[in-house]
Amino acid sequence: MSRALSLAETLAKEGNLPDQNLLELIRDRDPETAGFLKEQAAARRDEIYGRHVYIRGLIEFTNYCKNNCYYCGIRRGNGRAERYRLTKEEILECCREGYGLGFRTFVLQGGEDPWYDDDRLEEVVRAIRERYPDCAITLSVGERPRESYERLFAAGADRYLLRHETASESHYGMLHPREMSFSQRMECLNTLRDIGYQTGCGMMVGTPGQTWEDLVADLRFMKEFRPHMVGMGPFLSHKDTPFRGEKSGTAELTLYLLAIVRLMLPETLIPATTALGTAEEGGRRQGILWGANVVMPNLSPKAVRSKYMLYDNKLSSGSEAAESLYLLKQEMESIGFEITVARGDSRMV
């Protein structure tokens, strides 16, 4: 038996490994260990959530952003991005359509757009809460002051996604300009949890400069933070960013890490991300087979979907599109899963 396989067995039994062993498990991976992790992660997910896949309607409501993350296609420095911003009415129309299709979670995602200040965003959240009391509202709008998070929570938002991107401060500095701060990102995550949001974090796999140690730091951070959700996708480069031409992350390593996360945090919700589906044909299906249990089809108006281009060739049609839910349903059924029309709260406490 390989060393990696014996470490994987310990991980499956104990849900944790010392840092050095996690590093070996990742670095020295082999096909047999990968197969074992996949099987164990899927079994843990089945035990806790069954063979259900939760669906979230993703509304990408603004691609304006005041930040300049090196990897992101909608960074403020990209003068070629065609900017758009949905109005409250347009967002509500997306929700109306989504509700009719069966969605019971709406995810409002956007860049850090100053136009959507607290008053405006609060108005949107309040309106969705009033019209759809049985739905969960997830926000993914970046770093904001505590008062802002509190106001949005009081207005009816239940969940918040804020990817930490990397749990290593030095690596954070390679992905972001100096004006952005690692400690602030971490503080925001703690604040969100403290307020009572179901909080999601996550990272990209294969970003420039990422080391095995950085990935171990991510796993350790998440194990301690105990997020309700973990979003992970391979890094995919965008042609109009400083990272153009950088090597992309692989679906292979992302899936391997996904299985490790499922074993370390069995109760967390893990989406099979669009990036995974973009990196590899059938990637999203693979995500589910490796232990994920959420998919987030795109509910944004068709006219703006191609403008929310975080990385090149991002998928937004076919089974990625909310209106083609039947395709997603077929895709999931073909691998023995059922789409669940429910809020799908995290079992993480």
- According to the binding rule CB under 6 A, does residue 238 interact with ligand SF4? no
Q: Write out the DSSP string of 211-265.
A: -HHHHHHHHHHHHHH--SEEEEEE----TTSTTTTPPPP-HHHHHHHHHHHHHHS
- According to the binding rule CB under 6 A, does residue 275 interact with ligand SF4? no
Q: Which is nearer to ligand SF4, 65 or 270 (CB)?
A: 65
- According to the binding rule CB under 6 A, does residue 181 interact with ligand SF4? no
What is the rounded distance in angstroms from the CA atom of residue 73 to the CA atom of residue 102? 31
CB of 9 to ligand SF4, least distance (A): 37
**Residue span 9-48 as binding mask against ligand SF4, x where in contact by CB under 6 A, dash where not:** ----------------------------------------
b/e burial code for range 119-138 (CB count within 10 A of at least 16 → b)? eebbebbbbbeeebeebbbb
What is the rounded distance in angstroms from the CA atom of residue 111 to the CA atom of residue 157? 18
Selection from 178, 150, 156 nearest residue 69 by Cα: 178
What is the rounded distance in angstroms from the CA atom of residue 156 to the CA atom of residue 173? 34
Return the residues of window 45-104 that contact ligand SF4 according to CB under 6 A: 65, 67, 69, 72, 74-75
SS3 at position 95 = helix
- According to the binding rule CB under 6 A, does residue 213 interact with ligand SF4? no
- According to the binding rule CB under 6 A, does residue 142 interact with ligand SF4? yes
- According to the binding rule CB under 6 A, does residue 175 interact with ligand SF4? no
Strand partners, 110: 62
Q: Which is nearer to ligand SF4, 185 or 228 (CB)?
A: 185
**Residue span 111-130 as binding mask against ligand SF4, x where in contact by CB under 6 A, dash where not:** xx------------------
Positions that interact with ligand SF4 (CB under 6 A):
65, 67, 69, 72, 74-75, 111-112, 142
